[in-house]
Structure 1
């Protein structure tokens, strides 16, 4: 059954930010050793934009690219493209709703590398769209080095997306991941060779992709479908169906329009279509 998080009144980034600061204050009081860390990451900031910019720039920076330079890129992107902040908020809310291991927003922002890697990709994608491709590729490289998540800056990713565990996720240049998708570790959205042009998967809304799945080629993963762990998918997947295997085959229908929410990993939980 889908979990419903307790922050039912949150419908804006301001509400989200208030809830986040309240969580940070409570943790800081309970665990004084984290007080200065939480102050630097959350409590010293006035909005979600500057907090995220600080957290992510300190994760991505290195000896060549200092945190202040990365932070300036995030600040510019959030100012000129505020939809990035809305997407980040919805990503965090999706994690709290879908992951039984987390019930508050604070650990998502400061600890969850899947969330952080996705926000770094959003910056890389912003830079790519602005024609700053070399800088975008630098961000992709750092994302891969720091979080073990390799997403080409041109890849299009929607909002309310959850990278669960995230290690080893690879997403190619012409891939599209629509809103409200859950992707587990070691998933590849790749090509089938060295062909050029539009060559990567298109994942529609509500999809759940199990750990280790490889989806290859310019194929469509239909809305509300579910890909079983370890599957190799080489052909289109109809909407609201479950596929599993090597090569993947239809084994049933999904129990809801958004398997991304239920996160049901047992692909045998539904009967095959009649």
Structure 2
């Protein structure tokens, strides 16, 4: 099959299948370009017939530890992916979002193999499934392993939409009752936290298409509206209306927002444009 015919066939597919086809093409090209990685790429991607099984294999390789060896970690991951196909769909959407928004991503290969924000988020999706199944102890074990392995902390009960990019991911904290909508971008050292030791609903609710800049803290059971932008280093303690930009400590509205900030990753404030 010629390259043009192959690309046409890929474009004709949709959703997970299209993402999987693109990932396999990138893996095959990388294996040909760098033969020393061919065995690794074959084991991680090319020998699998489905995105689901490749994802389970990759997560197991990242999450295995002395208490949960690679085989057991794989069993846990594949059980979750088989039981809830939405996890696979969301993983494909997340990977596509990273490839579109992060200039460091040369293809789908980089997030799938190397980006810890992607690995941590997919691991969280497995732990969230465990949490909802009443298997809290194993969910907490995976949360702890993710924190040790990737340097961020997401409570298993936190609800996170699809098409989400956690960029760099280092020191990101997302609390138990936090909600993150579809198509958001979250940079490193972001905290979605509480304001005290209360046990009730106490964490932020982030709308769709929100961009949260590096080092921002969003605290308390407050809502950040769809399409909003939170500037780096801000401390957000009050509701944020949709489609606006907030900045400062404490954060205040400083202007309207650029269109689709989570997709454009535009971090220039209105008075700096």
**Unpaired segments of 5 or more residues in structure 1?**
1-6
1:191 matched residue in structure 2: 194
Change (3 A) 1:67 1:224: same
TM-score normalised by L of structure 1: 0.94
Change (3 A) 1:9 1:169: farther
Contact 2:99 2:108 in 1 (8 A): yes
The CA deviation string for residues 66-101 of structure 1, in whole angstroms up to 9 with x for no partner, is: 011011111111111001100000000101111122
Change (3 A) 1:207 1:8: farther
Alignment of 1:142-153 (within 5 A): 142-153=145-156
2:112 matched residue in structure 1: 109
Contact 2:181 2:208 in 1 (8 A): yes
The CA deviation string for residues 159-200 of structure 1, in whole angstroms up to 9 with x for no partner, is: 000001110100000000010000000000000011110000
User: In structure 2, how many angstroms separate the alpha carbons of the residues matched to 1:33 and 1:107?
Assistant: 17
- 1:263 to 2:261 alignment: no
User: In structure 1, how many angstroms separate the alpha carbons of the residues matched to 2:83 and 2:109?
Assistant: 25
User: In structure 1, how many angstroms separate the alpha carbons of the residues matched to 2:75 and 2:192?
Assistant: 31
User: In structure 2, how many angstroms separate the alpha carbons of the residues matched to 1:65 and 1:196?
Assistant: 30
**Unpaired segments of 5 or more residues in structure 2?**
1-9
2:141 matched residue in structure 1: 138
Q: By how many angstroms is 1:139 displaced?
A: 0.4
CA RMSD of aligned residues (A): 1.5
Q: By how many angstroms is 1:268 displaced?
A: 3.0
2:251 matched residue in structure 1: 248
1:21 matched residue in structure 2: 24
Contact 2:213 2:233 in 1 (8 A): yes
For residue 203 of structure 2, the aligned residue among 190, 194, 200 is: 200
Q: By how many angstroms is 1:11 displaced?
A: 2.0
1:38 matched residue in structure 2: 41
Secondary structure at the counterpart of residue 270 of structure 2: coil
Secondary structure at the counterpart of residue 232 of structure 2: coil
Q: By how many angstroms is 1:234 displaced?
A: 0.3
